[in-house]
């Protein structure tokens, strides 16, 4: 990660917990501390690979469509919740996380339940974080979507600054050459400033685009 930062990269993608375990542990803090020091936002594409869970789901047939369509709202919330409730943001308050292709329409309901179950179970589970989980999300997370009308409709509950449109080009899931048409239809009626933030501004801010890259000490 340090080498890539020195070469001009502005972010890192995490596919497994740094320590190699099935769950987040104290041994992973070294990585998170370095990412914070290097000002490298951490992207997670839908899930974390856990050695104890070998299956990634079917790759063909009806179940494959269900697996692809629902992965963002079934696999990613567990990862996001583990990071938030695990106290990562208390220990590394300047760290930014990005959920890649997770969609966003499910986020308001998930945050409500995460706050609810944290509050009801914090004592007997021994979880000690300084704020409600939803507050950490709104301060430290940015999730992307390709097509999510529900998310755009509920953007104030998701957080206009917590969501970003993804072109996904040149992957087969992208809308090119009709990307502008699709975006125009999805964002119909959305104020220009909010549309800019979701389509560009939030990513400009997350990665410091347009700014001179400085490699910390």
How many other CB atoms sit within 10 Å of the CB of residue 118? 18
Per-residue pLDDT of the chain (217 residues; tens, 9 = 90+): 999 999 999 999 999 999 999 999 999 999 999 999 999 999 999 989 988 876 556 556 666 666 666 677 778 999 999 999 999 999 999 999 999 999 999 999 999 999 999 999 989 989 999 999 999 999 999 999 999 999 999 999 999 999 999 998 888 888 999 999 999 999 999 999 999 999 999 999 999 998 766 666 5
The answer to whether 76 and 145 have CB atoms below 8 angstroms apart is no
Q: How far apart are the first and last CA of the chain?
A: 14
Task: At 46, list the tokens.
Answer: 């839908």
| Domain 2-207: which CATH number of 3.20.20.140, 3.40.800.10, 3.30.1240.10, 3.40.50.170 | 3.20.20.140
pTM summary value:
0.90
37-61 pLDDT, tens digit each: 999 999 999 989 988 876 556 556 6
Cα distances from 102 to residues 11, 74, 133, in angstroms, run 18, 9, 18
DSSP for 150-175, please give it.
HHHHTHHHH-GGGEEE---TTSTTS-
The answer to whether 17 and 24 have CB atoms below 8 angstroms apart is yes
Residues facing residue 163 across a β-bridge: 143
The answer to whether 82 and 24 have CB atoms below 8 angstroms apart is yes
Residues facing residue 3 across a β-bridge: none
Task: At 86, list the tokens.
Answer: 């695990």
Beta strands, E only, 68-211: 97-99, 141-145, 163-165
143-177 pLDDT, tens digit each: 999 999 999 999 999 999 999 999 988 888 889 99
| Residue 6 backbone phi and psi in degrees, to 5 | -65, -25
Q: How far is Cα 1 from Cα 13, in angstroms, rounded to an integer?
A: 10
């Amino acid at each position: 990660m340090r080498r890539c930062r020195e070469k001009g990269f502005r972010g890192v993608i995490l596919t497994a917990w740094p320590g190699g375990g099935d769950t987040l542990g104290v041994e992973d803090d070294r990585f998170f501390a370095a990412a914070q020091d290097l000002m490298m936002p951490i992207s997670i594409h839908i899930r974390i690979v856990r050695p104890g869970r070998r299956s990634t789901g079917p790759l063909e047939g009806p179940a494959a469509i269900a697996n692809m369509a629902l992965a963002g709202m079934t696999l990613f919330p567990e990862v996001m919740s583990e990071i938030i409730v695990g106290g990562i943001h208390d220990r590394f308050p300047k760290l930014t996380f990005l959920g890649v292709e997770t969609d966003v329409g499910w986020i308001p309901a998930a945050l409500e339940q995460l706050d609810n179950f944290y509050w009801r179970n914090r004592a007997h589970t021994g979880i000690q974080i300084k704020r409600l989980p939803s507050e950490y999300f709104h301060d430290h997370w940015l999730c992307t979507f390709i097509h999510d009308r529900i998310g755009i409709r509920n953007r104030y509950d998701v957080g206009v600054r917590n969501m970003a449109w993804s072109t996904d080009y040149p992957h087969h899931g992208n809308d090119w050459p009709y990307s502008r048409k699709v975006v125009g239809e999805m964002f119909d009626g959305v104020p220009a400033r909010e549309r800019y933030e979701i389509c560009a501004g939030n990513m400009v801010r997350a990665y410091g685009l347009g700014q001179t890259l400085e490699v910390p000490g």
